Amino acid sequence: MKIDKFYLLIMLFFSAYIAESQVELEQSYLGTAALTQLELDGYKYYVTDAVGNKCLIYNSDYTLWKTIDIPVPPNNFIADISFVSQHLFNENDNIEMLVIFAEYITSGEFPYYVYKTSVIEETGESLMDVAGGGYAFIEDSGDDNYKLFVYVYDFENSSLPVSTEIFNIPGSPLSNFEKNFIKPKDPGNPFPNPAGSYVNIPYRLDNRDETGVLILMDAGGKEIRSYKIGKDFNSIRILTSGLGKGIYFYKIQSEHTIVEPKKLIIN
Per-residue model confidence as pLDDT tens digits over 158-217? 767 789 999 999 998 775 444 433 444 557 788 888 888 999 898 888 777 888 899 999
Judging by beta carbons within 10 Å of its beta carbon (0-12, 13-18, 19+), is residue 68 exposed, middle or buried?
Answer: buried
Separation CA 60–CA 85 (nearest Å):
15
- What mean pLDDT do residues 9-24 have? 61
Q: What is the pLDDT of residue 32?
A: 84
Average pLDDT, the chain: 84
Beta bridge partners of 211: 230
The maximal CA–CA distance of the chain, rounded, in angstroms, is 81
Q: What is the pLDDT of residue 157?
A: 78
pTM of the predicted model as reported, rounded to 2 decimal places: 0.63
Q: What is the pLDDT of residue 44?
A: 94
Residue 8 pLDDT class (50, 70, 90 cuts): low
